[in-house]
Amino acid sequence: MNSQGHNEQRVVWTVVPTDIGPLLLAATREGLVNVVFHATDPVRDKALDRLGSRLGGEPVEAPDSPLLAEAIRQLRAYFAGERQDFELALDWSLISGFNRQVLRELASGVPFGSVVGYGDLAGRVGQPGGAQAVGVAMGSNPLPVVVPCHRVVESDGGIGGFGGGLETKRKLLALEGVLPEPLF
């Protein structure tokens, strides 16, 4: 409860425009809990329903929330080319086990402007031969962009898959200088 005796909202959210389309950002008191690509109304509504059922309670739209303000500021700076690392409190409650282990390694061990292969990332978490499992972890990443699953590529040089779509992955990798900017 807050000082007025009211229950505080558990999940707050907003949609922010970015160079890769609208992103839904959701946060709890623990930190940023979800980033969703292509946050059109139907995508947003589905994501909010899922968040409500997973975390309990009804997510509340709060674009001015202090819980979201820093995430918004850092994402804007990232897309403007002014920030390379995110320094945000993250709420990892939407992911567990191997997937959480892989995503934490990705967040801490694959810096801006670099990429890692699925198999290499599997080896880093003690699961050599676990490239497919790493692919599953990337697909279940609740915090894309901030936890940079776009930096995971195929060992043969292919770009690999991406929940936000391959064009979005290409744009993020171009922003980080890994790929050339598309001509059109």
Phi/psi at 114 (5° precision): -130, 165
Active-site position among 26, 137, 145, 149: 149
Cβ proximity of 147 and 141 under 8 Å: yes
Q: Is 59 a catalytic residue?
A: no
Pairing relationship of beta strands 152-153 and 116-117 according to DSSP bridges:
parallel
Grouping H, G, I as helix, E, B as strand and the rest as coil, residue 171 is helix
Cβ proximity of 95 and 140 under 8 Å: yes
Q: Which helix (H) or strand (E) holds 12?
A: strand 12-16
Kindly list the catalytic residues. 149
